[in-house]
Amino acid sequence: MARNVIIDCDTGLDDAVALLLALRSSELNVLGITCVNGNVGLDKVVYNTLRVVEQSGKQVPVYAGATSALMVDADENASKVHGSDGLGGIPLPAPKHSVENEHAIDFIVRTFMEAKEPMDWITIGPLTNAALALRKEPRIEEKIRLLTMMAGGLDSGNTRPMAEFNVFADPDAARIVFDSAMPKMMVPLDPLFLGGYLKWSDQQKIKAASDKLWCNLAGKIFDVTHELVHKMGRKQVTEEGAVSPPDLLAVAAAIDPSIMEIENYQIHVETRGEFTRGMTVVDRRKYQRGEAYPGRKEVAVVIDADQQKYASLVLNTWLA
Protein backbone atom coordinates (compact mmCIF):
# COMPACT_ATOMS: atom_id res chain seq x y z
CA MET A 1 0.00 0.00 0.00
CA ALA A 2 1.33 3.43 -0.95
CA ARG A 3 2.56 5.63 1.89
CA ASN A 4 1.02 9.08 2.30
CA VAL A 5 3.62 11.83 1.98
CA ILE A 6 4.06 15.60 1.80
CA ILE A 7 6.93 16.92 -0.32
CA ASP A 8 8.53 20.30 0.34
CA CYS A 9 10.63 21.73 -2.51
CA ASP A 10 12.25 24.77 -4.14
CA THR A 11 11.76 23.53 -7.67
CA GLY A 12 14.86 23.80 -9.79
CA LEU A 13 16.25 21.17 -12.16
CA ASP A 14 16.97 18.45 -9.59
CA ASP A 15 13.74 19.08 -7.69
CA ALA A 16 11.84 18.64 -10.95
CA VAL A 17 13.15 15.13 -11.65
CA ALA A 18 12.69 14.26 -7.98
CA LEU A 19 9.04 15.30 -8.14
CA LEU A 20 8.55 13.28 -11.32
CA LEU A 21 9.93 10.20 -9.53
CA ALA A 22 7.78 10.70 -6.45
CA LEU A 23 4.61 11.39 -8.41
CA ARG A 24 5.05 8.36 -10.68
CA SER A 25 6.02 5.99 -7.84
CA SER A 26 3.49 3.36 -6.79
CA GLU A 27 5.10 3.45 -3.32
CA LEU A 28 4.14 7.05 -2.53
CA ASN A 29 0.80 8.81 -2.37
CA VAL A 30 1.68 12.51 -2.58
CA LEU A 31 -1.03 14.44 -0.74
CA GLY A 32 0.44 17.84 -1.51
CA ILE A 33 3.56 19.71 -2.55
CA THR A 34 4.69 22.73 -0.56
CA CYS A 35 7.02 25.34 -2.02
CA VAL A 36 9.77 27.34 -0.34
CA ASN A 37 12.13 30.09 -1.46
CA GLY A 38 15.46 28.56 -2.44
CA ASN A 39 16.96 27.76 -5.84
CA VAL A 40 14.97 30.72 -7.18
CA GLY A 41 12.40 33.06 -5.64
CA LEU A 42 9.13 31.64 -4.33
CA ASP A 43 6.99 32.89 -7.25
CA LYS A 44 9.21 31.04 -9.74
CA VAL A 45 9.33 27.96 -7.51
CA VAL A 46 5.53 27.79 -7.41
CA TYR A 47 5.24 28.33 -11.17
CA ASN A 48 7.84 25.65 -11.88
CA THR A 49 6.19 23.20 -9.50
CA LEU A 50 2.77 23.61 -11.09
CA ARG A 51 4.23 22.97 -14.53
CA VAL A 52 6.26 19.95 -13.43
CA VAL A 53 3.26 18.37 -11.70
CA GLU A 54 1.27 18.61 -14.92
CA GLN A 55 4.10 16.96 -16.86
CA SER A 56 3.92 14.04 -14.42
CA GLY A 57 0.43 13.14 -15.58
CA LYS A 58 -0.87 13.47 -12.02
CA GLN A 59 -3.00 16.04 -10.22
CA VAL A 60 -1.62 17.10 -6.84
CA PRO A 61 -2.29 20.38 -4.99
CA VAL A 62 0.58 22.87 -4.70
CA TYR A 63 0.98 25.31 -1.80
CA ALA A 64 3.12 28.44 -1.44
CA GLY A 65 5.19 28.80 1.72
CA ALA A 66 8.06 30.90 3.07
CA THR A 67 9.41 33.71 0.89
CA SER A 68 12.73 33.99 2.75
CA ALA A 69 14.91 32.35 5.39
CA LEU A 70 14.00 32.69 9.07
CA MET A 71 16.85 35.17 9.51
CA VAL A 72 17.97 36.71 6.24
CA ASP A 73 21.72 36.88 6.77
CA ALA A 74 23.19 36.08 3.37
CA ASP A 75 20.32 35.72 0.91
CA GLU A 76 21.56 33.62 -1.98
CA ASN A 77 19.87 31.54 -4.64
CA ALA A 78 21.16 28.91 -7.05
CA SER A 79 20.18 30.44 -10.38
CA LYS A 80 23.73 30.00 -11.68
CA VAL A 81 23.16 26.24 -11.39
CA HIS A 82 19.50 26.06 -12.41
CA GLY A 83 19.17 29.03 -14.75
CA SER A 84 17.40 32.31 -14.01
CA ASP A 85 13.99 30.64 -14.28
CA GLY A 86 15.03 27.63 -12.20
CA LEU A 87 14.48 25.13 -15.00
CA GLY A 88 17.37 25.95 -17.30
CA GLY A 89 15.13 27.72 -19.82
CA ILE A 90 13.34 24.50 -20.80
CA PRO A 91 10.09 25.55 -22.53
CA LEU A 92 7.04 24.12 -20.79
CA PRO A 93 3.35 24.93 -21.21
CA ALA A 94 1.83 27.38 -18.75
CA PRO A 95 0.07 25.49 -15.93
CA LYS A 96 -3.66 24.86 -16.20
CA HIS A 97 -4.03 24.68 -12.43
CA SER A 98 -3.38 27.36 -9.82
CA VAL A 99 -1.65 27.35 -6.47
CA GLU A 100 -3.93 26.61 -3.51
CA ASN A 101 -5.17 29.46 -1.32
CA GLU A 102 -4.13 27.75 1.92
CA HIS A 103 -0.62 28.63 3.10
CA ALA A 104 1.93 25.80 2.98
CA ILE A 105 2.56 25.90 6.74
CA ASP A 106 -1.16 25.59 7.49
CA PHE A 107 -1.49 22.72 5.03
CA ILE A 108 1.47 20.86 6.56
CA VAL A 109 0.19 21.22 10.12
CA ARG A 110 -3.42 20.39 9.24
CA THR A 111 -2.53 17.34 7.16
CA PHE A 112 -0.20 15.81 9.72
CA MET A 113 -2.55 16.49 12.65
CA GLU A 114 -5.51 14.95 10.81
CA ALA A 115 -3.53 11.85 9.77
CA LYS A 116 -4.85 8.64 11.31
CA GLU A 117 -1.39 7.06 11.20
CA PRO A 118 2.16 8.44 10.87
CA MET A 119 3.02 9.82 7.44
CA ASP A 120 6.21 10.40 5.47
CA TRP A 121 7.70 13.84 4.85
CA ILE A 122 10.28 14.60 2.17
CA THR A 123 12.15 17.90 2.01
CA ILE A 124 14.33 18.70 -1.01
CA GLY A 125 14.84 22.41 -0.45
CA PRO A 126 15.78 24.75 2.41
CA LEU A 127 14.10 23.71 5.66
CA THR A 128 12.25 26.97 6.33
CA ASN A 129 8.72 25.59 5.87
CA ALA A 130 9.54 22.53 7.96
CA ALA A 131 10.91 24.63 10.81
CA LEU A 132 7.94 27.00 10.78
CA ALA A 133 5.51 24.07 10.84
CA LEU A 134 7.34 22.51 13.80
CA ARG A 135 7.29 25.81 15.67
CA LYS A 136 3.60 26.36 14.93
CA GLU A 137 2.56 22.86 16.04
CA PRO A 138 5.29 20.76 17.74
CA ARG A 139 2.90 17.80 18.01
CA ILE A 140 3.31 17.05 14.31
CA GLU A 141 6.55 15.25 15.27
CA GLU A 142 4.41 12.42 16.59
CA LYS A 143 2.64 12.17 13.23
CA ILE A 144 5.75 11.64 11.13
CA ARG A 145 6.94 8.13 10.29
CA LEU A 146 10.13 9.40 8.67
CA LEU A 147 11.44 12.75 7.47
CA THR A 148 13.78 12.31 4.50
CA MET A 149 15.92 15.37 3.79
CA MET A 150 18.23 16.25 0.94
CA ALA A 151 20.50 18.25 3.17
CA GLY A 152 24.08 18.75 4.19
CA GLY A 153 27.38 17.06 3.52
CA LEU A 154 29.79 14.92 5.46
CA ASP A 155 33.05 15.72 3.70
CA SER A 156 32.16 18.51 1.30
CA GLY A 157 29.86 21.40 0.43
CA ASN A 158 28.63 22.95 -2.80
CA THR A 159 27.60 26.50 -1.92
CA ARG A 160 30.59 26.99 0.38
CA PRO A 161 33.50 24.58 1.00
CA MET A 162 31.84 23.45 4.22
CA ALA A 163 28.13 23.91 3.42
CA GLU A 164 25.49 22.38 1.16
CA PHE A 165 22.95 24.80 -0.35
CA ASN A 166 19.74 23.66 1.36
CA VAL A 167 21.29 24.03 4.81
CA PHE A 168 23.30 27.15 3.98
CA ALA A 169 20.19 28.89 2.64
CA ASP A 170 18.55 28.73 6.08
CA PRO A 171 20.82 27.23 8.76
CA ASP A 172 18.58 28.44 11.59
CA ALA A 173 15.66 26.48 10.15
CA ALA A 174 17.91 23.48 9.56
CA ARG A 175 19.00 23.53 13.20
CA ILE A 176 15.39 23.49 14.38
CA VAL A 177 14.63 20.48 12.18
CA PHE A 178 17.81 18.55 12.99
CA ASP A 179 17.31 19.21 16.71
CA SER A 180 13.78 17.76 16.60
CA ALA A 181 13.03 14.28 17.91
CA MET A 182 11.21 12.89 14.86
CA PRO A 183 12.83 10.00 12.92
CA LYS A 184 15.06 11.51 10.23
CA MET A 185 17.08 10.35 7.24
CA MET A 186 19.62 12.73 5.72
CA VAL A 187 20.72 12.36 2.12
CA PRO A 188 23.88 14.49 1.87
CA LEU A 189 26.07 15.33 -1.10
CA ASP A 190 28.57 12.52 -0.47
CA PRO A 191 26.73 9.53 -2.01
CA LEU A 192 26.36 11.46 -5.26
CA PHE A 193 30.09 10.99 -5.82
CA LEU A 194 29.85 7.24 -5.21
CA GLY A 195 26.87 5.22 -6.45
CA GLY A 196 24.18 7.91 -6.42
CA TYR A 197 24.16 8.73 -10.13
CA LEU A 198 22.56 7.72 -13.41
CA LYS A 199 24.85 6.52 -16.18
CA TRP A 200 24.71 7.89 -19.73
CA SER A 201 23.08 4.61 -20.80
CA ASP A 202 20.40 5.04 -18.12
CA GLN A 203 19.61 8.49 -19.45
CA GLN A 204 19.33 7.21 -23.02
CA LYS A 205 16.68 4.68 -21.96
CA ILE A 206 14.69 7.48 -20.37
CA LYS A 207 15.02 9.72 -23.44
CA ALA A 208 13.94 6.84 -25.68
CA ALA A 209 10.58 6.87 -23.86
CA SER A 210 9.96 10.55 -24.64
CA ASP A 211 6.37 9.76 -25.62
CA LYS A 212 5.77 9.82 -21.85
CA LEU A 213 5.61 13.44 -20.69
CA TRP A 214 7.66 12.79 -17.56
CA CYS A 215 10.41 10.98 -19.46
CA ASN A 216 10.49 13.72 -22.06
CA LEU A 217 10.97 16.38 -19.37
CA ALA A 218 13.52 14.31 -17.44
CA GLY A 219 15.57 13.78 -20.60
CA LYS A 220 15.59 17.52 -21.31
CA ILE A 221 16.60 18.27 -17.73
CA PHE A 222 19.53 15.86 -17.95
CA ASP A 223 20.65 17.51 -21.22
CA VAL A 224 20.46 20.99 -19.69
CA THR A 225 22.29 19.75 -16.59
CA HIS A 226 25.20 18.57 -18.75
CA GLU A 227 25.30 21.97 -20.48
CA LEU A 228 25.24 23.98 -17.25
CA VAL A 229 27.88 21.84 -15.58
CA HIS A 230 30.10 22.26 -18.66
CA LYS A 231 29.61 26.05 -18.69
CA MET A 232 30.45 26.27 -14.99
CA GLY A 233 33.63 24.30 -15.56
CA ARG A 234 32.83 21.78 -12.87
CA LYS A 235 34.98 18.67 -12.81
CA GLN A 236 33.26 15.36 -13.58
CA VAL A 237 33.48 13.41 -10.34
CA THR A 238 31.64 10.29 -11.50
CA GLU A 239 31.95 8.40 -14.77
CA GLU A 240 31.78 10.40 -17.99
CA GLY A 241 28.28 11.41 -19.04
CA ALA A 242 26.70 10.60 -15.68
CA VAL A 243 24.24 12.88 -13.84
CA SER A 244 23.69 12.93 -10.09
CA PRO A 245 20.71 15.14 -9.14
CA PRO A 246 20.77 15.31 -5.31
CA ASP A 247 17.01 15.56 -4.88
CA LEU A 248 16.37 12.58 -7.15
CA LEU A 249 18.54 10.42 -4.91
CA ALA A 250 16.71 11.69 -1.82
CA VAL A 251 13.33 10.66 -3.20
CA ALA A 252 14.75 7.27 -4.22
CA ALA A 253 16.03 6.84 -0.65
CA ALA A 254 12.58 7.66 0.69
CA ILE A 255 11.00 5.12 -1.65
CA ASP A 256 13.45 2.30 -0.90
CA PRO A 257 16.15 2.93 1.72
CA SER A 258 17.33 -0.69 1.34
CA ILE A 259 19.27 0.27 -1.81
CA MET A 260 21.30 2.76 0.22
CA GLU A 261 24.21 2.29 2.61
CA ILE A 262 23.16 4.01 5.83
CA GLU A 263 25.02 4.90 9.03
CA ASN A 264 23.64 6.61 12.13
CA TYR A 265 25.16 9.77 13.61
CA GLN A 266 24.36 12.68 15.84
CA ILE A 267 24.29 15.80 13.66
CA HIS A 268 24.51 19.46 14.59
CA VAL A 269 24.07 22.49 12.34
CA GLU A 270 26.49 25.42 12.50
CA THR A 271 24.57 28.69 12.19
CA ARG A 272 27.08 31.43 12.93
CA GLY A 273 30.57 30.27 12.01
CA GLU A 274 32.58 32.72 9.94
CA PHE A 275 33.77 29.93 7.64
CA THR A 276 31.36 27.14 8.59
CA ARG A 277 27.87 28.71 8.41
CA GLY A 278 25.49 26.00 7.22
CA MET A 279 27.87 23.14 7.97
CA THR A 280 26.37 19.86 9.14
CA VAL A 281 28.72 18.81 11.91
CA VAL A 282 29.09 15.02 12.07
CA ASP A 283 31.67 13.51 14.39
CA ARG A 284 32.78 10.24 12.85
CA ARG A 285 36.00 9.85 14.77
CA LYS A 286 36.62 6.32 16.01
CA TYR A 287 37.71 7.40 19.48
CA GLN A 288 35.97 10.19 21.38
CA ARG A 289 37.16 11.53 24.69
CA GLY A 290 33.98 13.47 25.31
CA GLU A 291 30.52 11.98 25.77
CA ALA A 292 27.91 12.30 23.03
CA TYR A 293 24.98 14.58 23.72
CA PRO A 294 22.69 12.46 25.95
CA GLY A 295 19.14 11.97 24.73
CA ARG A 296 19.83 13.38 21.28
CA LYS A 297 18.48 11.10 18.59
CA GLU A 298 20.79 9.98 15.83
CA VAL A 299 20.03 10.66 12.18
CA ALA A 300 20.14 7.93 9.54
CA VAL A 301 22.70 9.22 7.03
CA VAL A 302 22.93 7.88 3.47
CA ILE A 303 26.60 7.17 2.80
CA ASP A 304 26.38 5.43 -0.57
CA ALA A 305 23.89 3.95 -3.02
CA ASP A 306 23.87 0.78 -5.09
CA GLN A 307 24.11 2.40 -8.52
CA GLN A 308 22.44 -0.44 -10.42
CA LYS A 309 19.55 -0.72 -7.97
CA TYR A 310 19.16 3.05 -7.89
CA ALA A 311 19.03 3.28 -11.68
CA SER A 312 16.61 0.33 -11.83
CA LEU A 313 14.28 2.04 -9.35
CA VAL A 314 14.21 5.21 -11.46
CA LEU A 315 13.86 3.39 -14.78
CA ASN A 316 11.20 0.97 -13.56
CA THR A 317 9.18 3.84 -12.09
CA TRP A 318 9.28 6.02 -15.19
CA LEU A 319 9.14 3.37 -17.89
CA ALA A 320 6.44 1.16 -16.34
Active site residues: 10
**Composition of the chain by helix, strand, coil, percent to 5:** 40, 20, 40
- b/e string for 272-298 if b means 16 or more Cβ within 10 A? eeeebbbbbebeeeeeeeeeeeeeeee
In the beta sheet, which residues pair with residue 33? 7, 62
DSSP state letters, 31-86: EEEEE-SSSS-HHHHHHHHHHHHHHTT----EEE--SS-SS-SS----HHHH-TTS
Burial class (CB in 10 A: 0-12, 13-18, 19+), 90: middle
Q: Are 249 and 150 in contact (CB under 8 A)?
A: yes
Q: How far apart are CA 110 and CA 91, in angstroms?
A: 35
The distance from CA 182 to its chain's CA centroid, rounded to whole angstroms, is 18
Q: How far apart are CA 123 and CA 29, in angstroms?
A: 15
Q: How far apart are CA 320 and CA 246, in angstroms?
A: 23
